[in-house]
Structure 1
Amino acid sequence: MKNFLMIWVAFLCMGAVCVMAQDMRTSHLSQEKKRQMMQKKADDELLQAKAEAKEKILEIKNDKKKLKAAIADLTFRNENLKLGNIGLEKSILKLKETQVKLKADLSESQVVNQELAGFIKINAKELQSLLVQSPQSALIRDRHQFLDPILGSGENPEKFPSMDDITQMADTLFGEIKASGEVKITMTDIIDRQGREQKARVLTLGNFTGIYMLKKASGSKDEIGFLLYSDQSQRFFALSRLPSSGMAAKMAAYFKGESPDVPMDISKGGALRQLTHQLN
């Protein structure tokens, strides 16, 4: 019996040892599997790290090439800028020399322009006086007003005459010369013997004599008489007294184109003023 118990105890102990051995083998296998998984993970991470490191090294090499290229480009551009600055300094020096010369030329041209403006102003003043005194100004109103800015008269500030102004002065002068030698009949305003403004046919014999024909009411004879020119108002005024009937007949015939002769006062009104006291 005692032997049986000992065998049974031994059997139990062996069973326990077998179970423990089995558990140890299972635990060892589990640990080995975990170790292998961790090893694989470590190997994968190492490979990934190596790949990333290789990529970084390549990127750094590329960046280094780019940096070297950028430095070379900057160096080249810097050299070009230096050369450009040298060229600019030379250009600035030349421009300063040109500026000094231009200032001298400008000062000289200002003197010449002032002399020219003074000469033109003198001629403009003479032209204005000529136009104001010309009976043609009674036919073309305000034709001298374009001279006001040149002369600085009236409300117009004085200005430097332009080529257009000079051309207009020349055209006006030649127009006056041409008109002063013409014989023409024009419809224009006059101041009649009663001091009223009226439309009349006006015969001008150059700048010497003006004769008017004024239409009267139906049934009345047209009024014909001499005109006097006022340079104060640049207007034609009818002579206060009418010409003799014989002289008026000659004037009427000339107006109608029936006679080549017409009375003319070469004194520009002086003789007419004396003659008016002897008429009728």
Structure 2
Amino acid sequence: MMKLVFISICSIIIISHHADANTWGQAVAQISQEIKETQKDIETTRKMIQGEQSRLKRELSELRKETDQKEKSLQTLKDQLEEYLQTEEKLHSEIEEEEEKIKTLEEILRTIAKDVTQIIEGSLLTAENPSWKEQLAPLTDPGRFPGMTDIENLAGVLFEEIEAGREIRKYPGTFIDSQGAEVSGTILRVGKFTACYQQGDDVGYLRADKNLGKLVAIPGTPPRTVRRGIEEYVSGETDHLPLDLSGGVIAEQVNRNSELREWIEAGGLLVWPILVIALFAILLSLERLYSLGRIPTKTDKIMDRLRDLASEENWEACMELCHKNSRIPTCNVLKTGMEYLGAAKEVLENALEEAILRELPRLERFLTTLGVLAAIAPLLGLLGTVTGMIHTFQGITVFGTSDPRMMSGGISEALVTTQLGLAVAIPIMIVHHFFDRRAEKIIGDMEEKGTALITFVLKNGEGRGARGERSGAGGE
């Protein structure tokens, strides 16, 4: 309406300027016509606006529906994304666990491969199977992941090593002799712990060299019995073979001719006093064995003979029998007792006791010395132990503990002197006890037979009669 009034005003103003050309009625008609046209335009515009509003409402409704659908789809996608993220996290965890298992398995395989490599490097079988190292090399390479082929090679090497270890094989082959030259000969392998060779008249044991990957002859000369046993087994003359189950360690020690000298030198200066004690103890033991070994510990037969002669009052035969067995202390004691026949019991007992004491130095000679030597030997070994440990700690003070060889001298001295001291003392103690017991048995036999003589004389009264006859004969 405001627009219509505005148009009317504008029309009046225009008509007032052109009043000379048109009349007032024409102006009103024109204005009415324009108003009608304007109203039509307004109606048309209103209808257009209403149509646009309906269309926009429809579009807005469709857009809202579409938005709702999009929001629902978005929420669905968000839920799927959350599930995918959770699945991804779970898969990452499983992958990490699998990677950890694979890493552990890889470490186990490499460790096994290294252990097997060390085993075959020191095995007698490697010289016959040089390809084993090449098959195990990929497994020990840290920059390469082991595959199934490598695992199969590892298992194959182990099974081949087990099978070969069950064999006793004799074959012509090459080895490194004691001079360092590669020579050919007959090789005899027993399982995986003993290998021998025969090259002409030369025989011996073999061991595996890790660096060369070949069999090497153990230096030195085996004992004669071992050489003969190897030769006879290789030639098929016998089914007995001297085995070295240590892989060559024992054979090397047996073949070393200078082992005793080196062992003595390792003990230091205190070894020599211990060896002197051992030599002195041997000499004293031989003397005691010779002296006491000839003396019987039982003289029952001689005593029975003396009783028979005494029952016949044949005292001169009794004295003669004791004189003939003068090397037996019991006979000397009995001879002294018969010299005092007819004397009082106390005199006879004192005479027999004096005779027993007279025989004791000959029986107990050097026994005290042996006991002293048995006590000194381990003390010298202990002194050597202390000296060796002092040398060891002095070496540690100067050179530290980086090189064990610097300490080996003092430790060897400590162990060798202790070993030698005990090795000398124990036999001396056993021998001393043996001789002491034998001397005690002889002394007990003297005391027993002396007491038997006193009992016999007092029981039969032979002593006084014999003494009286001797006195009467002396008076005549």
Q: What's the TM-score once normalised by structure 2's chain length?
A: 0.34
Query: What CA deviation, in whole Å up to 9, does each residue of 1:222-279 have, x standing for no partner?
Result: 4222213222332211222233444323212211222101111112111111111259
Find the counterpart in structure 2 of residue 124 from structure 1: 113
Within 5 A, what are the aligned runs for 1:116-265? 116-152=105-141, 158-214=143-199, 221-265=200-244
Hey, what's the Cα distance between the residues in 1 that align with 2:257 and 2:207? Answer: 17
For residues 102 and 186 of structure 1, the distance between their equivalents in structure 2, rounded to whole angstroms, comes to: 59
- C-alpha distance in 1 between matches for 2:236 and 2:162: 25
Contact in 2 for aligned 1:150/1:158 (Cα 8 Å): no
| Partner-residue secondary structure (3-state), 2:125 | helix
Q: Would the aligned equivalents of 2:207 and 2:215 in 1 still touch at CA under 8 Å?
A: yes
Q: Report the CA distance between 1:199 and its aligned residue.
A: 2.1
Unaligned runs of 5+ in 2: 1-76, 259-476
- The answer to whether the 8 A contact 1:193-1:238 is kept is yes
8 Å CA contact 1:226, 1:242 repeated in 2:
no
Amino acid at match of 1:112: K
1:115 pairs, out of 101, 104, 113, with 104
1:251 and 1:227 map into 2 onto residues whose CA distance is 12
**Within 2, Cα distance between the matches of 1:100 and 1:239?**
63
Secondary structure of the 2:171 match is: strand
RMSD: 3.0
What is the SS of the residue equivalent to 1:136? coil
Measured in 2, the distance between the counterparts of 1:119 and 1:194 equals 41
Name the aligned partner's letter for residue 121 of structure 1: R
More strand by share: 1
Cα gap change, 1:189 to 1:158, in 2 (>3 Å) = farther
Q: 1:115 to 1:239 in 2, by over 3 A?
A: closer
Question: 2:300 corresponds to which residue?
Answer: none
What secondary structure sits across from 1:143 in the alignment?
A: helix
Deviations 1:17-59 (A, max 9, x none): xxxxxxxxxxxxxxxxxxxxxxxxxxxxxxxxxxxxxxxxxxx
Question: What code does the residue aligned with 2:140 have?
Answer: L
Do 1:191 and 1:238's aligned partners in 2 also have CA atoms closer than 8 Å? yes
TM-score (norm 1): 0.55
Structure with the larger helix share: 2
Letter in 1 for 2:111: I
CA distance in 2, matches of 1:190, 1:251: 17
Q: 1:205 to 1:278 in 2, by over 3 A?
A: farther
Q: Which amino acid aligns with 1:130?
A: I
What is the alpha-carbon distance in structure 2 between the residues aligned to residue 274 and residue 112 of structure 1? 48
> How many residues are paired up?
180
User: Quick one: distance in 1 between partners of 2:236 and 2:196?
Assistant: 14
**In structure 2, what is the Cα distance between the partners aligned to 1:278 and 1:194?**
17
Please report how far the alpha carbon of residue 191 of structure 1 lies from its aligned counterpart in structure 2 after TM superposition.
0.5
Structure 2 SS opposite 1:195: coil
Q: Which ranges of structure 1 fall in alignment gaps of 5 or more residues?
A: 1-89, 215-220
Distance 2:193 2:236 in 1: 20
Q: Which amino acid aligns with 1:258?
A: E
Is residue 173–residue 185 contact of structure 2 (8 Å, CA) maintained in 1?
Answer: yes
The CA deviation at 1:140 is 1.7
CA distance in 2, matches of 1:206, 1:278: 28
Contact 1:135 1:234 (8 Å CA) reproduced: no
CA distance in 1 between counterparts of 2:139 and 2:208 reads 26
**CA separation of 1:276 and 1:105: change in aligned 2, threshold 3 A:** same
Asked if the contact 1:187/1:202 (under 8 Å) is kept, the reply is yes
Tell me, in whole angstroms, the C-alpha distance in 2 between the residues paired with 1:199 and 1:171: 29
Render the CA deviation track for 1:61-102: whole Å, top value 9, x for unaligned.
xxxxxxxxxxxxxxxxxxxxxxxxxxxxx9xx89x7887765
Letter in 1 for 2:135: F
